Homo-oligomer: A and B are copies of this chain.
């Protein structure tokens, strides 16, 4: 039971602070203080604050997708898991006090030159999109064009649900998104 490594301690503190306080609100000094790490030690593991953010988002992606897949595993693969994924959002966002999506939140107020961060965000949403497509493909009801359109629509619902629940500090937008999703999946066009 030894002490976590410097890298781990930095990641823990940075993840918590970046997510709950915000990227710009979180200073390097705060991170190293909470991680109980010397500043230069931190910079031996991460070249810059931006790099910490990238690592944070990558870790967050793994964690978030993992939890999502676990959560929906009780349902049959396909539409059912997609519908169930909104229940995941409800659980998650209630737990974090509707703090919203770590990926959305970080790109909205970013120094103009920090492209690496934006890239991970796009990657995360693309991966989520891939999973949705998988679920739709398993269903077998749709051709490729239909799948793509549905996929886009569902992703919009997810993004909107997370964002609006953050603004309103409530979970009703997530349920609304779920209802909308059910409607979209029921009515072939």
Contacts and interface: CB of A to CB of B under 8 A. Distances in A.
A168 interface: yes
A161 interface: yes
Specify the main secondary structure of chain A where it touches its partner: helix
Nearest to A124: B167
A88 to B, nearest CB: 16
Interface string A166-189: 111000110011011001101101
Nearest to A118: B167
A109 B153 CA distance: 27
B149 A155 contact: no
Contact of A157 (B103, B104, B160): B160
Interface stretch (A2-10, A16-24, A56-64, A72-80): A16-24
Of A121, A164, A166, A172, chain B has the most CB atoms within 10 Å of the CB of: A164
A156 B154 CA distance: 11
Contacts of A111: 25
A31 interface: no
Contacts of A112: 21, 25
B163 A155 contact: no
A23 B89 CA distance: 28
A156 B183 contact: no
A69 interface: no
Contact of A22 (B110, B122, B180): B110
Given A24-B24, A160-B163, 14 more contacts: A23-B109, A108-B108, A109-B109, A121-B167, A152-B176, A153-B179, A155-B164, A156-B160, A156-B161, A157-B157, A159-B163, A159-B167, A180-B180, A184-B184
Interface of A: 21-25, 100, 103-112, 121-122, 125, 149, 152-153, 155-161, 163-164, 166-168, 172-173, 176-177, 179-180, 183-184, 186-187, 189
